[in-house]
Amino acid sequence: MRAMRKFLASANFLAGAAATVFAGGSAHAAQPAPWEINFQPAATDIMRQITWFEQYTLWFVVPITLLVLVLLAYCIWKFRASVNPTPSRTSHNTLIEVIWTVGPVVILLCLAIPSFQLLTSQYTPPEEAKLTIKATGNQWNWDYEYQTGDTLSFNSAILPDSDRAAAGKEDRAVYPRLLAVDNEMVVPVNTMTRVLVTATDVIHAFAMPSFGIKTDAVPGRINEVWFKAEKEGLYYGQCSELCGKDHAFMPIAIRVVSDAQYKAWAAAAKNDLPGANKALMAEVDGTNKVAAAGN
């Protein structure tokens, strides 16, 4: 199992490296891609574990599926009516019954052990959270409240196309249609972040695929998720619980920046959120242009 884990991890690394090369050194922005069949690139350790587990289970799912297909084809051909007019009256076979009892038990154990390990990791943060943010779902936007000494709260809603120019978000590769928002949640990189999730009206769901987190936002109840983003960039998710007619227009955007950039943004956002966002965007875009130029 350890050798298989290393092999899959190496394959995942090569895939990520290839994605980085084809991205041309631009800002890392995890978002859905056309005809995508894999998970979005992992930005947290938990998401890497989820990706590994998905690849690990395929080593069981694919052979079992092929085996069942072969057995069905064999039975259809071998015992077809034209060559087997008198059906067999065999009622049982001890060897076969032992195999189809012991085999699935062994396979389920091989799946259950890493599954429980992953589940334990998801509910056991490795350290205390340094930043706590309350996310409240509304029809159809999110309220974010930073649980810090200084009050900082704002609303985040889908960005209309008519407001893109004023917000400086006309680049649809970075700020895609139906995913771009007016105010992103901003967090520092490599910082344990706790998100308290609730709702004001109906059940929503807070989901960020690249972080490997998803939890329901239930009115009158607070659910908790955590993440520690390891890569700076802009990450997109969506409400993942059918919540009304505009469910498809309720995106989630989290911008991960350096600790210095986060502190400067937080200090400015208390008094001027739009100005703080534009200043942060200018700094991030400028940094990315320098990096893309190879300097």
Residue 11, SS3 per DSSP: helix
pLDDT score at 149:
80
pLDDT score at 29:
65
* Domain locations along the chain: 2-17+28-81+94-122, 131-292
Q: What does 40-108 look like in DSSP terms, one character per residue?
A: PPP-SHHHHHHHHHHHHHHHHHHHHHHHHHHHHHHHHHHT-TTT-SS-------HHHHHHHHHHHHHHH
Residue with tokens 């967090």: 187
CB of 182 closer than 8 Å to CB of 159: yes
pLDDT score at 18:
39
Nearest in space to 206 (alpha carbons), one of 189, 220, 226: 226
Contacts 24+ apart (CB under 8 A), 259-263: 259/188, 259/189, 259/191, 261/188, 262/186, 262/187, 262/188, 262/191, 263/188
Mean pLDDT per 10-residue run, the chain (295 residues)? 47 41 46 86 93 95 96 90 82 88 94 95 92 96 91 93 91 91 95 96 96 95 95 94 95 95 93 93 71 38
Distance (Å, whole) CA 162 – CA 103: 59
Judge whether 2-17+28-81+94-122 and 131-292 match in fold.
no
CATH architecture of 131-292: Sandwich (2.60)
**Quick one: tokens of 160?**
């209309």
Nearest in space to 32 (alpha carbons), one of 259, 202, 271, 253: 253
**How many Å is the Cα radius of gyration of the chain?**
24
**Quick one: tokens of 191?**
């910082």
pLDDT score at 83:
85
CATH no. for 2-17+28-81+94-122: 1.10.287.90
pLDDT score at 37:
86
**Quick one: tokens of 11?**
């394959």
Task: Encode pLDDT of 36-78 as tens digits.
Answer: 888 988 999 999 999 999 999 999 999 999 999 999 999 899 8
pLDDT score at 20:
37
> How far is CA 98 from its chain centroid?
40
